[in-house]
Amino acid sequence: MVTTDMTLSEGFGDAGDPAAAAPPVSVLGRAFALLGAFGPAAPRLTLTDLAARSGLALSTTHRLAGELVRLGALERSDGWYCPGMRLFELAQLSRPIAYLRQAALPFMEDLYEATHQIINLGVLDGGEVVYIERISGHQAADVPSRIGGRFPAYCTGLGKAQLAFLPRARCEELFAGPLAGRTPGSITDAGRLRRELDLVAERGVACDREETEPGIACVAAPVLDRRGQPVAALSVTGAVGRINQAALAPAVRTASLGVARVLRHSVP
């Protein structure tokens, strides 16, 4: 059966400025600092940008970037660096994620055919949700989710659908600090969030009401293992006016139960 690492970090939030932490000492740590300098707003960087965002000296950045290009981890063109094909190849070898995507895709396709809205699959990673698969059409709403992207779990339907089924003690660790809002609709009060998660656990579905992006709503349901612990979640996402949360909830719930059933009978 597929399992994922559900260890929670000390709080919700963005990854932050790559240069905010002290530069790592080891060669491997420095190499990962360079790779971590890239992001949705910085898919390609100059050598100077790489040095600034990683916190490394320009000479060190030049040497390590050259080695990463030779290894295929980075690509270089016209003075710009971007993540290389070798990283994509390695990412596809993550067995738990590969099995999860394989199990979920048929159900995601059924949901798309029924709704013609964006269908997302996400897993928890600390206090954030990471999007690992997405299906959308040509007329899809403009939403910030992308494969490999992440958001604070408490701001998303995918995240809340999974948080609601974690042990309360583990969730409480996340509520100790302030919850930063992404939009005016984001839940930033720990007490209100606890009450919402209780409702999610009772109903089996979670909703995002313009909490991640203004004008965007979603309905999500968890994929649970045999112990009732969250492995992932599925969601239907679209413009607020096109997402009828009450009408979509049964379909999303049924799809998530289908994925869970397949995973329980799969043998990695």
pLDDT in tens, 19-78: 445 667 788 999 999 998 988 778 899 999 999 999 999 999 999 999 999 999 999 999
Beta bridge partners of 222: 233
The answer to whether 13 and 129 are in contact (CB under 8 A) is: no
Helix H or strand E encompassing 12: none
Cα 259 from Cα 262, distance rounded (Å) = 5
Distances (CA, A) of 30 to 61, 77, 247: 9, 22, 49
Q: What is the largest CA-CA distance in the chain?
A: 58
pLDDT at 6: 33
Q: Are 155 and 185 in contact (CB under 8 A)?
A: no
What is the CATH T-level fold of the domain 95-266, as seen in this structure?
Beta-Lactamase (3.30.450)
Mean pLDDT for the chain overall: 85
pLDDT band (50, 70, 90) for residue 3 = very low
Q: What CA–CA distance (Å, rounded) separates 235 from 222?
A: 9
Please state the domain extents for the chain.
Answer: 6-91, 95-266
Instruction: For tokens 């396709």, name the residue.
Output: 109
CA distances for 169 relative to 76, 161, 172, 178, angstroms? 46, 17, 5, 17
- For 220, the enclosing helix (H) or strand (E) is strand 216-224
pLDDT for 38 equals 87
**Residue-wise pLDDT tens digits, 99-130:** 899 999 999 999 999 999 999 999 998 889 99
**Whole-number CA gyration radius for the chain:** 19
How far apart are alpha carbons 141 and 213 in whole angstroms?
A: 11
- pLDDT value for 22: 65
Tell me the CATH number of domain 6-91, given options 1.10.10.10, 3.30.420.40, 1.20.1250.20, 3.90.1300.10. Answer: 1.10.10.10
Q: Using an 8 Å Cβ cutoff, are 153 and 160 in contact?
A: yes
Buried b (16+ CB within 10 A) or exposed e, 28-52: eebbebbbebbeeeeeebebebbbb
* 80 membership: H or E segment, kind and range: strand 80-83
The pLDDT value recorded for residue 239 is 92
Rounded Cα gap, residues 118 and 227, in angstroms: 29
Question: Is 176 buried (19+), middle (13-18) or exposed (0-12) by CB count in 10 A?
Answer: exposed
Which residue type sits at 231? V
What pTM value is reported for the model? 0.72
User: Tell me: the pLDDT tens digits for 147-174?
Assistant: 888 899 999 999 999 999 998 888 878 7
Segment 224-252 shows an average pLDDT of: 94
Please give the DSSP secondary-structure letter assigned to residue 11: S
